[in-house]
A and B are shown apart, each in its own frame.
Chain A
Amino acid sequence: MAALRQTHYLSARLRPLTTIPLHRLFSSDTKTLTIETSVPYKSHIVDPPSRTVETTPSELMTFFREMAIMRRMEIAADSLYKAKLIRGFCHLYDGQEAVAVGMEAAITKKDNIITAYRDHCIFLARGGTLLESFAELMGRKDGCSRGKGGSMHFYKKDSGFYGGHGIVGAQVPLGVGLAFAQKYNKEDTVTFALYGDGAANQGQLFEALNMAALWDLPAILVCENNHYGMGTAEWRAAKSPAYYKRGDYVPGLKVDGMDVFAVKQACRFAKEYAVKNGPIILEMDTYRYHGHSMSDPGSTYRTRDEISGVRQERDPIERVRKLLLSHDIADEKELKDIEKEVRKEVDEAIAKAKESPMPDPSELFTNIYVKGCGAESFGADRKELRTVLP
């Protein structure tokens, strides 16, 4: 059995430091708290942002709740998959929630996010509902893509979520295209193009980065480094695992992706940078508890100790919970109640999604072409060509 190399993430420790005296914690809800991120940022060609993040109790509670919903959704999807209600590929995001929540907290709905197939939680963060998620996973009509996309094709155009892509790395040139459109239309917004450590070795990434840097496009490339490209550990796939440095002439920042405040600060910093100067790379050091997808047990290439170690020491929800408790913003019971409520919400969404019908057979042929100037009519009788289903 190959020895697992010691990787740095096991040594990151939880270390919330606060400077607020105790008596001030009992005042109003909009009090700002100052929190230090778990580890300082590592940067490449740029001055990193400060380690100190300001937040409010209500923001902490929102983070807790949102991450709890995401966690619960992914675990529920796991059971649904095992019950064969979800088929095909299902890539789960639990463990990485801090990236989705932190990123969303730093940007607006006018900014764009595009990601690969591990997209359920980012869809939720961008404003998708649990019902749309579960219905799409089960292939029902009420899904966000009307049941025709599936797990890997969640999209939400009105809030700038561009999916949802199955081919590794292909979403990064698309993301640069979104940034191009933002620059073309002179909007002061940015695009976050997410990809994994496996995709970081794709050539099209470097091509896209070159173009983004050439034209100063507001593209932020975010590498969600969960250290495994399916079954291949990063040290076996990449000669240089410093993904944030791979931009060479493009600045980069390495962020602890399990710390929602570090992510939020980094994304805010990146947005300010990209709008003025062009592309920047963020490497989110994160971890996924599940395997690559539901067909992968996730334990053949890593030990259970490693997984449970990360869960104990770096879990994003636990970190926020400890902060909430130590700052006396909420007590154990309140947090347990929130989790119970979240569980109920998820169960209700699943029940409702199960009631949603499968798409109509005629939907097989809709949305292939858009009516309009093109595709007016075709077929031997000049009407639209339809195949009759047996």
Chain B
Amino acid sequence: MAASIQSLAAASSLSAANSIDSKRVHASIPGRKASFLVVRSDLRGSNGSNLKGHRVGNLVTNAVASPEAPASASKSGHEVLLFEALREGLDEEMQRDPRVCVMGEDVGHYGGSYKVTKGLANKYGDLRVLDTPIAENSFTGMGIGAAMTGLRPVIEGMNMGFLLLAFNQISNNCGMLHYTSGGQFTIPVVIRGPGGVGRQLGAEHSQRLESYFQSIPGIQMVACSTPYNAKGLMKAAIRSENPVILFEHVLLYNLKERIPDEEYVLSLEEAEMVRPGEHVTILTYSRMRYHVMQAAKTLVNKGYDPEVIDIRSLKPFDLYTIGKSVKKTHRVLIVEECMRTGGIGASLTAAINENFHDYLDAPIVCLSSQDVPTPYAGTLEEWTVVQPAQIVTAVEQLCR
């Protein structure tokens, strides 16, 4: 069970219209401008003040999953699938801020190829949920141009791999305009879409673009893995003034989880502690989290106590949480779906070595996908990504 308070959102002035039904959080804060509080895992507020003292007094702290939550809180909330959680986040943000709009292929009338935007076009109209022609380069550019004037577009790539066509716009315009204009323009876009290896989708539809985008200065990258963090990260990404690329995974859209009814926003730069432990730190993100948790069951039976962290923030890395963990366990295993060469794991290995070299008892082990185009045959495809058995072997070798 997550051992940290993620974050809470203060009352939004448009709370009446959205799905929040709890009276505990909002009605008690009259006249408050739409603002939110991002709570760090060490209980500091976003302005650095201690959670206990400050204006948080009005906020009800048992609204979200927390260690002190009374048993009754676990029955509240509603069950959603991951794509519904994304849709909820998007819907709430569109309601809250009229500048938020969605653009992408088949997001409007069709409802999104993974149903993330289903029903939104009926609710908000065709201009706010825009069906674009198949022209990634230019509709990404269009979204960025609109963002320069103050709109907040959410650009969907039907598959992350298609965004390679928009690489110029993402790298040069999205990432760099804030810098080259000397701060005059901000580009508050969210670029999202499913990526990763699916079920025999073929080489061109199974790409992991996080490794290609990671060097672009000026963007932030996050990867969601559960309905809870999908909704929180979607909302945070939309509210962020920086361009954020939100990586979803094709195979995770139907995960079911109970999420809170209240509004919440997660921090874009924080990692999630999935399972605290003592022997080894396993860093992972997106779908590999589930492979790791499966391997963790086997490992626990064998007597190991792995600490599993879902890094969530791919750029910048949450070196604080990772560092705390490394200082505790002294062994690191990175499990990722990226390619071996130049992937997120490679950067993370370098970052950990640079910052925490003294705390490591063993070299960092990085399990990544093979450096091959993803084959179609099912058995071959299975072997391109990391399997739980490989994770178990790696931990055993690391902890020898």
* A149 contacts B by Cβ under 8 Å: yes
Assess whether A211 is in contact with B135, with CB atoms less than 8 Å apart. yes
Asked whether A33 is an interface residue with its Cβ less than 8 Å from the other chain, the reply is no
Chain A residues with CB under 8 Å of B150's CB are: 181
Q: Is the CB of B182 within 8 A of A181?
A: no
Q: Judge whether A170 and B141 touch: CB under 8 Å.
A: yes
Residue in chain A with minimal CB distance to B128: A184
Q: Which of A223-231, A244-252, A313-321, A366-374 contacts B (4 or more CB under 8 A)?
A: A366-374
Contact residues in B for A185 (Cβ distance below 8 Å): 149, 151
Which residue from A112, A147, A173 sits with its C-beta under 8 Å from B142? Answer: A173
**Bound form: Cα–Cα A155–B180 in Å:** 9
Q: A145-B184, A373-B236, A373-B239 are in contact. Are A173 and B318 (CB under 8 A)?
A: no
Residue from A165, A210, A370 within 8 A of B178 (CB atoms) = A370
Q: Does B218 contact A (CB under 8 A)?
A: yes
Q: Does B226 contact A (CB under 8 A)?
A: no
List residues of chain A with CB within 8 A of the CB of B139: 173, 207, 211
Q: A381, B241: Cβ atoms under 8 Å?
A: no
Q: Which residues of B lie under 8 Å from residue A196 when comparing CB positions?
A: none
- B267 (CB) vs chain A CBs: closest residue: A376
CB under 8 Å from chain B, chain A span 166-188 = 166-167, 170, 172-178, 180-185
Is the Cβ of B145 less than 8 Å from the Cβ of A180? yes
Give a binary string over B165-183; 1 marks a CB under 8 Å from any A CB, 0 the rest.
Answer: 0001100110001111111
**Closest B residue by C-beta to A210:** B133
Determine if A102 is an interface residue (Cβ-Cβ < 8 Å).
Answer: no
A103 at the interface (CB under 8 A from B): no
Does A180 contact B142, Cβ atoms closer than 8 Å?
A: yes
Interface code A73-87, partner B: CB below 8 Å = 1, 0 otherwise? 000000000000000
Contacts of A163 in B (CB 8 A): 177, 181
Please measure, in the bound complex, the distance between the C-alpha atom of A214 and the C-alpha atom of B184, giving whole angstroms.
Answer: 31
**Contacting pair B172 A166 (CB below 8 A):** yes
Known contacts: A170-B168, A184-B127. The answer to whether A376 contacts B146 by CB under 8 A is no
Which single member of B36, B132, B135, B318 contacts A378 (CB below 8 Å)? B318
Minimum C-beta distance from B211 to chain A (A): 19
B contact residues around A180 at 8 Å (CB)? 142, 145-146, 151
Contact (Cβ within 8 A) A385 B316: yes
Residues 87-109 of B contacting A (Cβ, < 8 Å): 101
Alpha-carbon gap, A178 to B143, bound state (A): 9
CB distance from A161 to the nearest CB of B (A): 10
Among the listed B151, B168, B180, which residue makes an inter-chain contact with A145, where contact means beta carbons less than 8 Å apart?
Answer: B180
A162 to B132, CA, bound (A): 23
Q: Is the CB of B179 within 8 A of A368?
A: yes
Return the chain B residue nearest A367 by Cβ. B183
User: Smallest CB–CB gap between A273 and chain B, Å?
Assistant: 21
A133, B237: Cα distance in complex, Å: 35
Q: Closest CB-CB distance, B64 to chain A, in whole Å?
A: 17
B42 to chain A, nearest CB (A): 8
Q: Quick check: B183 and A146 within 8 Å, CB to CB?
A: yes
Is there an interface contact between B141 and A173, defined as CB atoms closer than 8 Å?
A: yes
What distance in Å separates the Cβ of B109 from its nearest Cβ neighbour in chain A? 14
Residue in B closest to A179 when the chains form the complex, CB atoms: B145
B181 and A114 within 8 A (CB)? no
A204 at interface (Cβ–Cβ under 8 A)? yes
Contacts of B141 in A (CB 8 A): 170, 172-174, 176-177, 204, 208
**Distance of B362 from chain A, by nearest CB (Å):** 20
- Please name all residues of chain B whose beta carbon is closer than 8 Å to the beta carbon of A257 when the two chains form the complex: none
B300-332 vs A: 1/0 string, CB under 8 Å?
Answer: 000000000000010011111001000000000
* A155-B184 in contact given A165-B173, A181-B145, A378-B269 (Cβ < 8 Å): yes
For residue A30, give the distance in angstroms from its CB to the closest CB of chain B: 36
A323→B259 CA distance, assembly (Å): 74
Q: At the interface, yes or no: A377 with Cβ under 8 Å from chain B?
A: yes
B220 beta carbon closer than 8 Å to chain A: yes
In the complex, chain A residues whose CB is within 8 Å of the CB of B183: 146, 366-367
A372 touches B179 (CB 8 A): no
A204, B133: Cβ atoms under 8 Å? no
- Confirm or deny: B339 has a beta carbon within 8 angstroms of a beta carbon on chain A: no
Q: Does A13 reach chain B (CB closer than 8 Å)?
A: no
A-B contact pairs, 10 of them (CB 8 A): A148-B182, A162-B145, A162-B185, A170-B168, A174-B144, A183-B127, A368-B217, A370-B242, A373-B240, A376-B46
Identify the 5 closest CB pairs spanning chains A and B, nearest first: A177-B145, A173-B141, A374-B240, A174-B145, A146-B182
Known contacts A114-B145, A378-B316; 7 further A-B pairs (Cβ under 8 A): A112-B149, A155-B182, A170-B168, A172-B141, A184-B128, A374-B242, A380-B356
